Structures are given as C-alpha cells and as structure tokens.
Amino acid sequence: MEFPLKEIKVMDASKRTAHSNAFYYGFGSNKKIVLFDTLLKQHKGPKGIEEIVGIVRHELGHWHHMHPLQSMLFSIFNLIAMFTVFSFVNNNHLLLYQFGFFYESNFISLVIFGKLYELVSWLTSLLMTLITRKFEFQAD
C-alpha cells in the first residue's frame, strides 16, 4: 500500500513553545505530516534521526488505520446526538413544566438542554478519550 504523501512540513513552533510535536492531517491527495522545529532541534545525531523516523512512521500509522476519518465519523455521531437531545428539549411543554416553568422560552429550553447534554457530553468525551488511546497504540 503506497502512501500518497505530498510532503513533510516543518512548523516554526519554537517562537511559541519549547514543546516538540508532530501530527498528520489531510484527506484525499492533500495528506501532510508536520514536524515542529523544536522536535528536530531536540533529536540530533544518528540516534535522533532514528527517533524522528519512528515519529514519522507513527504518523503514517495513523494514515494506515484511517484514524482521521474515524475521528470525523465520531464527531458527526456526536453532533447528531447533540441535535437529537436539543430537538427533544426545545419547547417541550411537558419538560418545561417538570422543571417548574409554565411558559415557553427558547432561553429556558437552551439552559435545560445545556444541563441535560452535560451527561451526553461526558459520555462522548470518555468514549473519544478511549478511542484516541486505542488509535495511539495502533499507530505505534
């Protein structure tokens, strides 16, 4: 399987941070791997070149396993869950009455939605954290 990588870019991150990082992004024919300049400065010599090659291979692992696509699909699922909860709450007379409100209000519906969505958000955040950890182990 051939990786249609257009290029590896170096980001001038040393002006903002001393943290070293690398990431992969893009879809279709617009795939790129970006290395922070701090990463290149911190890994010099023959041993450092091996480590940088390992980091690039890790990013290629994300491409091989289609992690960006899977993350995007999860985000779409998350948006669908959010809009589903909002459509349930928006001007739901029974729900407003159960919360002690006797009139329709978009503002009150939005506040109730925010409180109810906290649980959904917590669950999707936990699930995304678990998926991200799985992705990182797969890419290695």
Domain ranges (residues) in the chain: 5-64, 67-139
The CATH number that domain 5-64 falls under is 3.30.2010.10
- Residues annotated as catalytic are 59, 140
**Nearest by Cα to 88 from 109, 118, 111:** 109
pLDDT for 2 equals 55
The Cβ of residue 69 has, within 10 Å, a number of other Cβ atoms equal to 11
- DSSP label of 5: E
Cβ-in-10-Å burial (0-12, 13-18, 19+) of 56 comes to middle
Q: Structure tokens of 87?
A: 């459509």
**132 contacts: CB under 8 Å, gap ≥ 6:** none
Provide the residue-wise pLDDT of the chain in tens; the chain has 140 residues: 555 566 677 887 778 877 888 888 877 777 888 888 888 888 888 888 888 888 888 988 988 898 888 999 999 989 998 998 898 888 788 888 888 888 888 888 888 899 888 988 899 899 999 999 999 999 88
pLDDT for 80 equals 92
**Nearest by Cα to 71 from 25, 3, 11, 35:** 25
| pTM score, whole prediction | 0.73
**Residues recorded for the chain:** 140
Between the alpha carbon of residue 80 and those of residues 20, 26, 83, 87, 102, the distances in Å are 35, 23, 5, 10, 29
pLDDT for 126 equals 94
pLDDT for 131 equals 94
